[in-house]
Amino acid sequence: MKFNVAMGLIVAAPLLLSACSPQDVAETISTAQVCTEAAGIFIEIREILVLAAEDPTALETHRIALTDLSEQFGALTPAKQELAAAHETVSASMNVILETLANPSAANLGSIPTQVAEAQATALDFAGACAL
């Protein structure tokens, strides 16, 4: 038992001595988790967008997969304000793409490249917020 208490103090000492508040530590851990999970989701989104460009006949399949990934991303809850704002922006840009795919028409589908470019820009902003 004494060993566990001693190990706990050794592990906790850097946090206690670094003047980090528990909220700072929680935000750092939350940011790391959210950014790691988001990176995996972004990779999968990119793969689906490449598949959609290669095979537009499977549009409904790709829309369903993108909807699932968008929901996974939306379920992430960043604690840091800057990251939360970037998260909302990425979610909104994904919703624009999903709305377009849900209502396919020549005019709507013609706007997909612009919407994807805008989503990529918001994802870069999100990545920047992860680095803060």
Structure-model confidence comparison of residues 6 and 111, the more confident one: 111
Count other C-beta atoms under 10 Å from residue 57's C-beta.
7
Query: Residue 5 pLDDT > 60, yes or no?
Result: no
Nearest to 112 by CA among 53, 33, 46: 53
Backbone angles phi, psi at 70, to 5 degrees: -65, -40
Structure-model confidence comparison of residues 7 and 34, the more confident one: 34
For the segment 65-82, what is each residue's pLDDT rounded down to a tens digit?
999 999 999 999 998 899
For the segment 13-68, what is each residue's pLDDT rounded down to a tens digit?
454 445 567 777 777 888 999 999 999 999 999 999 888 888 878 889 999 999 99
